Amino acid sequence: MLRFLFLFFVLLGCSKAPERPLFEIGVVADCQYCDCAATEKRFYKKSAARLQAAIDTLNQHQLAFGIHLGDFIDKDFASFDTVLPIWKQWETTTYHVLGNHEFSVADSLKPKILPKLGMQLPYYSFVYDHWRFLVIDGTDLSMYASSDSLQIQERDLMFAQLQKKRPYVRPWNGAISRKQLLWIEKELQIASRENQLVGLFCHFPLLPEDDLHNLWNNRELIQILEQHPVVKFFFNGHNHDGAYVKKNNIHYQTFKGMVNTPNQTAFSKVQFFDNYLIIQGYGREESRKILLTDKE
């Protein structure tokens, strides 16, 4: 009898309950809806139904927040009126990142984009649990969104200096202004003082570099991020094929576009644990475990 009890308690101690996440978030990239004909790789009209299915799925989970990583529409301001009512069905706090296609509307309507998306500022931060999240604006210096004369001057100078050096300095990408870089630096300093971990959301990727998609001044921003060990990840869209790279303990994850392929969607749920993240991909999005420390 004593031997039986001993074995019972040994087995009981070995059978640990699965670890529960601290919190979970939902991520969608490049919904890129418009009421227009499909191309070989983009199926614009299908994005509305895909967004609805994604939100129906993610509403089954108690999420801390949901975020869209830019290019909510492909073009035409009226496209917002189809996808925003769907977006508002999400039963959690939601955030938007600005992408280049948000600005594929008439110039007279560009000042209305932020209010339409419920955004007070083009870049901002918020805190959840022991994390500080930075939503940054890669359209800050760009050929389609910059309107202030000082912005335009800084944009044109940067474009001229970098265009022949970096193949991804293209008119459809963009850059972070000096003003925003200073803001990012200040936010990272606050996070360091308050023992917070940092995750960043942007539309344009920093890494890996390719010929078509990167933020113009990606290397300058990477240099700032790498000076702060609290920075753990950089999540973005824009390259619809997706990508992943880890460099100097920062994870750079490009989420695949929802608008692509005739019959598959792409969205994710991200679980936050003490020492790692789990990206649970749906549709063609890949699942991945991201270690935040050297120990699991």
In tens, the pLDDT along 177-225 reads 999 999 999 999 999 999 999 999 999 999 999 999 999 999 999 999 9
What's the number of domains the chain is made of?
1
- Arithmetic mean of pLDDT over the chain: 94
- The pTM score is 0.93
Cis peptide before 171 (omega within 30 of 0): no
- DSSP state letter for 138: T
The average pLDDT across 243-257 equals: 97
CA distance 213 to 203: 10
3-state secondary structure of 92: coil
Looking up residue 38, the CATH number of its domain turns out to be 3.60.21.10
Owning domain of residue 137: 21-291
Banded pLDDT at 18 (limits 50, 70, 90): confident
Average the pLDDT over 277-288 and give the result. Answer: 98
Helical ranges in the chain per DSSP H: 2-14, 47-58, 80-87, 113-117, 149-162, 178-193, 218-225
Domain presence at residue 70 = yes
The tens digit of pLDDT for each residue in 24-37 reads 999 999 999 999 99
Q: Kindly give the pairing relationship between strand 197-201 and strand 23-28.
A: unpaired
Look at residue 13 and tell me if it is in a domain: no
| % of the chain beyond a pLDDT of 90 | 92
Beta strand 288-291 pairing with 131-135: unpaired
Return the percentage of the chain with pLDDT > 70, whole number.
93
Q: Is residue 146 part of a domain?
A: yes
Does residue 5 fall inside a structural domain?
no
